[in-house]
Chains A and B, each alone.
Chain A
Amino acid sequence: MAPETRTQYQEDLEALEASALGGLDLVSAALGRTMEAVEHQDVELAQLVIADDDRIDGRYLEVHQALITLLATQSPVATDLRLISALLHVLKNVERMGDQCVNICKVIPLTGNEPPADEEMVRLILAMGKQTRTLISQSKRAFEDRNVEMARDLVRQDDVVDNLNRECFGLALEIGDDPDRREWAMTMLLAARAIERIGDNAVDIGEQVAFVVTGLFREFEDASHPSA
């Protein structure tokens, strides 16, 4: 075989993968701060997360554009093509995850300075945040290692988040008649829902891992046909 060629292109592609997956670190940090803001009703920290989302969006635009340029100039095929297609999906997921953090941070001021918080519900939401950050880092590692088993395991990890979300819902139903507490619980349900969606995005990234490795796209779990 002739010596290796297209080293610059390969280096560019590797750098773009690192940059796209690095977006997951940004999201994980944003979610960490978001949980801190929820725990302490820290409106200023929440504002910081919202402002900082520009960095995640910037990462999305920058890497997206560079991938389009690679498509146009390098005509990637086979694994390279699948990788680029998957990275475009991952970027979209990263961008959506960042937006979900923003959604949570936007509702924090609505609960007021000294909200009638339910400790158990806060605990559940923080647990959801922690578990979702685990999912985010696991999705990143599965992508980096092209590890389909690890990617599939995200479904199991995501079930934990889904169950916590259901518990939150149950608590909200039983929060009592006080209008302030009910309003607070509704707002927290929005936050829980946003975290749950971040977990789903991490599972989507896992599906892209399987696509890169096998060339076949299959949803790990079909939400519209759960029994299938």
Chain B
Amino acid sequence: MDIRHPIESPTVTEQNPEPQADPRTGLGDPRPMVSVAGEPEAKPAKRSREVGNVALQGLSAYYGSNHAVRGVSLAFDSAKVTAIIGPSGCGKSTMVRCINRMHEEIASARSEGKVLLDGLDLYDPRIDIVAVRRSVGMVFQKPNPFPTMSVIDNVTAGLRLTGASRGELEDRGREALVGAGLWEEVKDRLKGPGVGLSGGQQQRLCIARALAVDPEVLLMDEPCSALDPVATLRIEELIAELKQRVTILIVTHNMQQAARVADTTVFMLDGELVEVGPTDKLFTNPDDDRTEQYVTGKFG
């Protein structure tokens, strides 16, 4: 996905959608990830694209003088699930919010260092921030469907900004709902209000909304903390399915959840990266004493 503002060519933004300059054209992949609006053979191309490759280089994040993330360098495995664990205030959410440039939306917040997506620095001034958030989707702690929108409008809200046709909106909306494991439950109430769904369904609706724009990376910040165990299980199963086509980073307080869903687990403490390793290793025989102390519940 090319998320740079083309320097010589006209800038493509949501206000200026031009099919021939679709920012969703695959970078380094001759095949388009998604064809321009209206073309039917979008799906095979989408499957063939690379899954997002995220790396942090010396990433620091601040809230005013508070140094919340301290020089983290880390490469996330592509098409895998990485869990980020650590006590409250350790900087895990902040770190993740730097990856889709949400962090800078907070007054007094700033960051340093690099966030690379497929080798591109997302903090490069030439980067289109809207395209960044399309490439790097995010799901939050509490489900936050748009309250005035129907189920289907919620899912396609992001797509409409890209100027997709009505037919494409319907197709991709349905595809996203299927992908989020929600289609069977909502297919008869697509026009009903999104907030009329149960909490677990609302969260999957938000996942569908994030999936609809075909992100390369999905950030999940405590996605199950407001859900009951059954709804949590549905989301965890969904994560396992989704990781084949999207790189997933999940921030969680629930260490058992990290152990269940993640291929790799990252432990952070006081803004620093303490340990990163295969999940089974980190939970059976961690290298760092602080990891050991945290995962066994001796502090935190």
Interface positions of A (Cβ within 8 A of B):
1-6, 9-10, 74-82, 215
Contacts and interface: CB of A to CB of B under 8 A. Distances in A.
A77 B255 CA distance: 10
A91 B34 CA distance: 60
Contacts of A9: 297
Contacts of A6: 296-298
A178 B255 CA distance: 69
Interface in B276-292: 283-286, 291-292
Contact of A82 (B259, B284, B295): B284
B300 interface: yes
Contact of A81 (B284, B293, B299, B300): B284
B87 A5 contact: no
Instruction: Give the interface centre of A79, A81, A82, A215 by most chain B CB atoms within 10 Å.
Output: A79
Contacts of B256: 75
A77 B295 contact: yes
A80 B286 CA distance: 12
Interface residues of B, number: 17
Contact of A77 (B87, B259, B299): B259
A80 B284 CA distance: 9
A9 B297 CA distance: 10
Contacts of B255: 75, 77
Given A75-B255, A77-B283, A5 B295 contact: no
A215 B300 contact: no
Interface of B: 87, 255-256, 259, 283-286, 291-293, 295-300
Given A2-B87, A215-B284, A79 B300 contact: no
Contacts of A2: 87, 299-300
B283 A5 contact: no
B298 A4 contact: yes
A5 B298 contact: yes
A14 to B, nearest CB: 13
Contact of A1 (B296, B297, B299): B299
Given A75-B256, A78-B291, A78-B295, 18 more contacts: A1-B293, A2-B87, A2-B299, A4-B299, A5-B300, A6-B296, A6-B297, A6-B298, A74-B297, A76-B296, A77-B284, A78-B284, A78-B285, A78-B286, A78-B296, A79-B292, A79-B296, A215-B284
28 contacts: A1-B299, A2-B87, A2-B299, A2-B300, A3-B299, A4-B298, A5-B297, A5-B298, A5-B299, A5-B300, A6-B297, A9-B297, A75-B256, A77-B283, A77-B296, A78-B283, A78-B284, A78-B286, A78-B292, A78-B295, A79-B292, A79-B296, A80-B296, A81-B283, A81-B284, A82-B284, A82-B285, A215-B285
B242 to A, nearest CB: 25
A5 B300 CA distance: 8
A210 B15 CA distance: 64
A3 B291 CA distance: 15
A74 B296 CA distance: 9
A78 B285 CA distance: 5
